[in-house]
Structure 1
Amino acid sequence: MKRFGLLGAATLALGISAVLPAEGGSILEPKRIEAAALATPLPVDLPLEYVSGVDEYGSKVSQYKIDLGNRTGTLVLKMYMTEKYPKNGADTLYADVKKKRASGFFLVDSNSSINSDNAKGLAAFDRYSAIYDINPGFSRPKYTSGFQNVGVNKKGERFIALGIYLDKSVNSGVYYLETPNMASGHWNTKAYFYENVNVEKRVFSEVNRYFPLLDKVRWGVAELKHNQIGRLTMLQNTPFLMEEYGKFKVARTLKKGEQYRIYGYKEISGKGYYAVGGGHFVEMNSKLAKYETPAKNKMRLVKILHEE
């Protein structure tokens, strides 16, 4: 009797029968990787609070509230236009961003749209901040200036990228993102944060590669692939099985020390097998192979890279 099911990439329990498609190669052959790549900082997700109110003119206004809790580092924002955004407005805005002209994005140190009298200063996402190094005569905002750029995610969706290095905490680390039409629901925004490090220029250059990451997500020296749920290290020479018509035959012998990416598993007649992709399997036996799962934060970063 053969049983099948589905297993989410973040679901690591092995009590449910499942097989996932392989993505990329399964065998892990760690090659020499530059130390800088292994030392690449990783961001964390930041929760955003959508706050609304009425301004002094009686108009509805809204902003995203970002609480860094007195931390310093590089704040990265990824903004998707929703279906509510007028098409002509979107075209104009994207054209402006591509030319790196001001498009009305500001990081404010108080809820200025609602309480304008309390505004103490802001950081404008108007041009990539290096422009100010080249042209020191340009007028800067009170604190600093971040970058803006545009990109396309792996699903083909276009987004606006905003980023800024905050070298000191203002307003106890509570900031507000101000931008046109925020109150109309025209934006879907995600925030990420690199603590204690200035990676503003590096993140800017990765907008059309790994944004908001700086590199592929690595587990040890190897890349952690999309849909990968674990890895297998051979403890002794082990049969490498290929499935044909619901039965297994030995394709070759895996050598002690070899590693493989695991994308799921299958149960046949009450016996479990790790799925390594391409219709190949390894018996679930702790004496034959050691199974390990990646940290949840790394799984989350892979999801960000491929799904957000």
Structure 2
Amino acid sequence: MKKILGTGFVVFIFAFFFGQLTFAQSSGISSGVPVTGTLSSEEAENTYYFSTDKDGEVYITLDESTGGFYMYLYNENGNRVSSDYFSSRGGKAVIDKKIQKGSYYIVVKPYNWNGISSASFKLKATYSSHINRNASSFEPNDTIETSLPVKSGEVYQSASESNIDQDVYQFTTNKDGEVYITLDEAGGGYYMYLYDENGNREASDYFSYSGGKSVINKKVQQGTYYVKIKPYNWNGITSAKYRFKATYPGSINRNSSSFEPNETFETAMPINSGQSYSSSSYSSIDQDTYQFTTNRDGNVRIALDNAKGGFYMYLYDANGTRVSSDYFSYAGSTAVIDRDLKKGTYYVKIKPYNWNGITSASYRLHASFPAPANACDRYKGVSKIWWDGIELKPGQIGRLIVKKDTTLFKLNGEQKSPSRTLKAGEFYRIYAFKPGMLSVGGGYYVDRDAKVTYETPSKAKLEAVRCIQNR
């Protein structure tokens, strides 16, 4: 649950009149920060004020009420933009609207009070403005503009604090390709929607009960996308947790043992001919994709065995056309694809099938196909690999060129201890990195900012260095 804060400050503004409407005194409300309020008579009303820094979505909720309430949204000219209401204790009201940059007022008034003389409520308004995001709940993330950016293939766990608490996530693809989005481990029912950067709905899925699962698997064009997660069909529950993961064309950090993320064609795990790969599906909606390339026409044989559950296995060509498939429905079985194929790149997708009473299952994949000779053979007799006239060292992942004098520091935990100043024009090899920092080796780092230029060698050169090092 998020911490509820008081209004914090009161803004006195000049009164202006439109019919009977007067905004003489308003309490400022920060974006995404809940406030509590109380009305002590049927004639009383509370007014809250906020300003957006750009056009965008506003999401306003009124709940945890002890009586019925009207909720109105007005612009700075006194025109009503939207409204909602409920007539009894425990009711909830929502205003979800696209608005222009400007100042707005939320007015809360009693409605249908019978036998009560005062009532309290909780109000939250999320809009385009500066926010302070909670590192564990990701709140506020109720709108497109406050959405949480997510990394491709990374798992995020969060919760909805009520059945009107929506969460929005954002990602940007670096090319056209496949997206695979999952929602599971949920304590209640949920809707999941995918929108493009223009607000057009691309896809959706839902489930209506605790333990349900949703998947969006779609080919999209390069761009920015938003995933909205909303509670659905909550009966007898007041909050619920969930797990969310989006895999899309973009930078990934592959796990060396699970090969994750590898849900899509663009994040497929490359495999070698004649080598076995042991992995697992951590849920019934966790699909894995593998990639191989043949260097000539010939026979391809792919086997899936040592499985602890049922699995589908599909073979696709480089155009995404299904070439063949096989499956089994229980543990201990084997699926085989044996075909003569044209030279090219192919993908193997493995999906759980007919899982009853299991939540995860391991498997083994083995593929034999016409493959190039040992790629390292071409570097026989070569002792050094050159990158723009400078030797590329083993373990080196890039290079740093200092554009403006910058500080070299030793990293002790989270503490930066300055060592010396690197001068403009100097060159350094890079062996590792941390968020916002580059390592020059020996535990020394520099900030990755406008003062430096970071360059990376081609994959071919990195592979050549590995070949020479592993002789």
State if a TM-score over 0.5 links the two structures: no
Q: Greater helix percent: which structure? A: 1
More RCO (CA 8 Å, sep 6+): 1
Q: Greater strand percent: which structure? A: 2
* Greater gyration radius: 2
